[in-house]
């Protein structure tokens, strides 16, 4: 779990120490609670897993179903209002901002929630709904409603989400790089 803490310190300029992240970051605490609930869920201790998930949600404001599959070093920044459904799959080094929902569109059995690849960034209050795939290095803008797959390196925004930029890179952009790039793009369009 220290790799997750170290990633948060690297990505978030407000993070000053491991202890600060461990004790005060609800996204990190939710991730730790999820790991325990997930471990119990797959050992058929379903009620105990759901109780831990419930306590974690009440404590952090982040709702992660114990059956979801989450990779390494997830960074849920601020956390409040994040919902991750039971059949959601999240890759490694993903960043999710507050208010994001990885939800379903239909009450049918099987895979109903999104799959996020590696190095994906999901902006605040975005809704990703249904059995869709957001491929590696993709970015989802704040408030976007994503109902279809997002290609590798694409940035999407809007309702419904549309491709606004294709990133031709194989390295993840940091929050700071994205902000500076978006600011420069906005000034060029003025």
Average pLDDT over residues 33-54: 97
The two structure tokens encoding residue 160: 């419904």
Domains and CATH numbers, the chain: 2-189 (2.160.10.10)
Identify which of 11, 30, 21, 1 has the alpha carbon closest to the alpha carbon of residue 119.
11
Share of the chain above pLDDT 90, in %: 78
Work out the pLDDT band at 131, boundaries 50, 70, 90: very high
Higher pLDDT, 29 or 185: 29
Share of the chain above pLDDT 70, in %: 88
Which residue carries 């461990």 as its tokens?
22
Q: What are phi and psi of 185, to 5 degrees?
A: -65, -40
**Sign of the dihedral defined by the CA atoms of residues 121, 90, 143, 13, in that order:** negative
pTM: 0.84
């Amino acid at each position: 779990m220290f790799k997750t803490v170290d990633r948060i310190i690297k990505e978030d300029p407000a993070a000053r120490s491991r202890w600060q992240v461990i004790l005060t970051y609800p996204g990190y605490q939710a991730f730790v609670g999820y790991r325990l609930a997930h471990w119990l869920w797959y050992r058929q201790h379903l009620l105990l897993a759901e109780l831990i998930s419930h306590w974690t949600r009440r404590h952090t404001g982040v709702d992660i179903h114990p059956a979801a599959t989450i990779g390494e070093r997830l960074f849920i920044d601020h956390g409040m209002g994040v919902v991750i459904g039971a059949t959601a799959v999240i890759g490694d080094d993903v960043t999710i901002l507050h208010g994001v929902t990885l939800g379903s569109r239909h009450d049918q059995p099987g895979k109903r929630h999104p799959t996020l690849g590696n190095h994906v960034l999901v902006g605040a209050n975005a809704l990703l709904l249904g059995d869709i795939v957001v491929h590696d290095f993709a970015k989802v803008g704040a408030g976007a409603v994503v109902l279809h797959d997002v290609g590798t390196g694409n940035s999407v925004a809007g309702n419904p989400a549309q491709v606004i930029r294709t990133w031709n890179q194989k390295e993840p952009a940091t929050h700071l790089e994205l902000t500076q790039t978006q600011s420069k793009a906005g000034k060029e369009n003025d």
